[in-house]
Amino acid sequence: MNAPGTFPPARSLGARLMAYACLVGVFLAPDSRAQHGVIREYAALAPVPDAVPLPPLFEARLTDTSITVGPDKAFYLTGSATEGDRVTGTNQLAIWRSADMKQWARLRTLDLGDTRARSPELHFLGGRFWLALEREGGGTELLRFDTTELGTSGFQRARITELGEDPSLFCDADGTFFWVMGAGEIARLKPNPLDGLAGPLVRVPVRIAGPKPQQAEQAIRNLHGAFLARISGKYHLFITGQLFRNGLGRTGLADGVNDVLVAAADKPDGSYSDFYVAFPNAGQTVLFRDAGGVLWATYSGQDERAILRGRPGAFKVETIAAAEPAWTIGFAGAEKGDRFPFSLMLRPDTAFIYERGMGSARGVPLDKVPGQRAAVPWIRDTFIMLGHDGNYYLTGTAGNMDGIQLWRSPDLRHFEYVKQVWTPASDPARWYNRAPNRLFWAPELHYINGTYWIAFCISAGDQGKNSVLKSTSGRPEGPYEPAFPGNQGVDQHIDSSLFQDTDGSTYYVWQDGLIRKLNAAMNGFGGEVQKIIPQDGRRVGYEGATLVKMGAWYVLTCAEWNGGGNHADGTYDMMYANSKSLAGPWKPRRVAVPHAGHGALFKDRSGRWLASFFGNDRTAPFRAMPGFVPVEVRDTGDDLILRPTTNPETTLP
């Protein structure tokens, strides 16, 4: 047993993957790769407070939705037929028409004879209607209609390629036609497009914009549905694909999600930029402009997170100027949006929700920290707990990161600022002042043994980077003093937490699943450092470890970037592993709450489990605000299944 205040080092986990970018009063270079979060202004999803789930255009079992606008300013739609969740070919291809995108009527059914079509696309280009289609079994065709009366017109058809899938047609401003297909293959067509390709198909390489190390650890799979559009004078290539990192797709799904990726170039068959996620969960898409010139895209969701699955949808496309440096959430510095080609970012209409479940989550308003440098209220590493007095308390990385902040709420609808409950002594000899301009982050508030405790960490320091404070008054607002004697932190890891078991034993939990028993007075340790590792040998996450008990189950949660790194369009998800014993065995890691990263599980007054989070990735429902979602808990006896509720009406207690 170690004496109070003496802490032998835990075995190394390596350096923290991403350090915070901006020190208080000292800004790093704008292009620094140390930034942990994302720029609020350049988020891929930014639903307004009254956003609603994207509705289907009409009820039909249809995917790979294609819409074009005809010479009569009406909308014409087709798509792939489905059987259950599976796309199937058909030789009876339905086409719908609408004058206003609200009321749709079937216009005709094309009889394709022996050809079973998949992934059909309608276009009105060069004064004619065209239809590109994939032949079931491989190969592509093009149909040219004889007149502009699509409901009755005859057509000519030609085989364009013997192999390939998901064909599309693009016509440049000079009248040159291009065949675009599959995972991003592009070729010019002959002057009469029905005569076929004028040259070989060239495959556009697909990489997600970001630092090279993050590109190297990212896999991109199931690329399909390429589509080309000219926007703001540049050529934008859209491809649907799935991003993976460490074996998991975005939002922590093993099967991934179908996102629309986009890159841009000066020429239609030129050198394209790296890609970024433009339309999350949208599946295969086409873009079109209505009679007023407004840009739209279709939504053909098929993955588990998609708000619409197997039904046609469409949304307006927002174009965001991304040239100016913008505030990176949680820091006082600025960062350019230079990952977006030609300083233009595309994203879906913010009036709608596009992700099932977490897409309906909303941030909770909080008061601004007095004197903070940031212009708006913000928080990261959100920790919420129900206090002994019946109020909810909130803390986290906030303000100028020069101390520990506390908010209070009676009902989780608004957090009122209480005070900076701990301002560290200015003595340069103190362990937490050893590094210049160090920052305080990720504090947690716990009520144990009749008083409040704060576990916290700092950004730098050669005498430790984490420790515990104790309230000397028994109240959440303190005052607080160091819980451990001696002038040193615990070790060089971060993200510390506390856990009290049902037998009264208390534990220090930190980083990615390190755990150590505390002594009865909680002023030192009573056991050795252990590491929680699931049965499959994979870590639960890389930071933000917290531990709770749900019935017979211990539940460890950690944060992980899935699908990609923090600068490669990954998602910052709350992962978990569970066991009926602290000694294990622990079930393999799984996603508990997408986008919840370094949050925590807590109970409300009714005993219901909730997950706190703050939003840290480009597709989270908000960024750097406190939020929470109810968590559905299902104990099967052999396992514990956690997932956020999909009912937005139950977001508040």
Cβ–Cβ under 8 Å, residues 333 and 325: no
**Is the pLDDT at 37 greater than 70, yes or no?**
no
Instruction: Report pLDDT for 196.
Output: 98
Please, which pLDDT band fits residue 12 given cuts at 50, 70 and 90? very low
Strand ranges of the sheet holding 571-579, from the earlier edge strand across to the other edge = 543-550, 553-562, 571-579, 590-593
pLDDT at 39 over 80: no
Task: List Cβ<8 Å contacts ≥24 apart for 468-471.
Answer: 468/496, 468/498, 468/508, 468/522, 469/404, 469/422, 470/522
Measured between alpha carbons, how far is residue 30 from residues 167, 324, 334, 646 in Å? 41, 11, 6, 38
Distance separating alpha carbons of residues 445 and 134, to the nearest angstrom: 58
**Per-residue confidence (pLDDT) for residue 376, from 0 to 100:** 87
Mean local confidence (pLDDT), 425-430: 92
pLDDT in tens, 97-128: 999 999 999 999 999 999 999 999 999 999 99
Of 588, 576, 578, the residue nearest 536 (C-alpha): 588
- Spatial CA neighbour of 619 closest among 650, 651, 574, 573: 573
**Strand ranges inside 326-471, DSSP E:** 326-327, 334-335, 344-348, 352-353, 379-386, 392-398, 404-409, 416-422, 440-448, 451-458, 466-471
Per-residue pLDDT, 651 = 45
Q: What is the pTM of this model?
A: 0.92
| Residue 29 confidence class, pLDDT cut points 50, 70, 90 | very low
pLDDT of residue 609: 96
Identify the CATH number of the domain defined by range 65-289.
2.115.10.20
User: What pLDDT shows up at residue 84?
Assistant: 78
pLDDT digits (tens, 9 = 90+) for 196-245: 999 999 999 999 999 999 999 999 999 999 999 999 999 999 999 999 99
Residue 24 binned pLDDT confidence (cut-offs 50, 70, 90): very low
Cα–Cα dist 454/476, whole Å: 9
148-167 residue pLDDT tens = 999 999 999 999 999 999 99
Q: What is the pLDDT of residues 436-455, one digit of tens each?
A: 889 999 999 999 999 999 99
Q: What is the mean pLDDT of the chain?
A: 91
Least confident of 23-27, 76-80, 382-386, 496-500: 23-27
Go through 61-86 and write b for each residue having 16 or more CB atoms within 10 A of its CB, e for each that does not: ebbbbbbbbeeeebbbbbbbbbeeee
Task: Report the alpha-carbon distance of residue 539 to residue 511 in Å, rounded.
Answer: 11
Instruction: Give the separation between CA 425 and CA 574, rounded to whole angstroms.
Output: 34
In this prediction, residue 436 carries a pLDDT of 87
Regarding the domain with residue range 358-650, which homologous superfamily does it belong to in the CATH classification?
A: Glycosyl hydrolase domain; family 43 (2.115.10.20)
pLDDT of 36 above 60: no
DSSP alpha helix (H) spans, 121-222: 212-216
DSSP type of residue 213:
H
pLDDT digits (tens, 9 = 90+) for 343-366: 999 999 999 999 998 998 989 999
Question: What's the average model confidence in pLDDT over 527-532?
Answer: 96
Domain with CATH 2.115.10.20 in the chain: 65-289, 358-650
Residue 594, pLDDT score:
97
Q: Give the residue among 12, 42, 548 at the shortest CA–CA distance from 337.
A: 42
What pLDDT does residue 164 have? 96
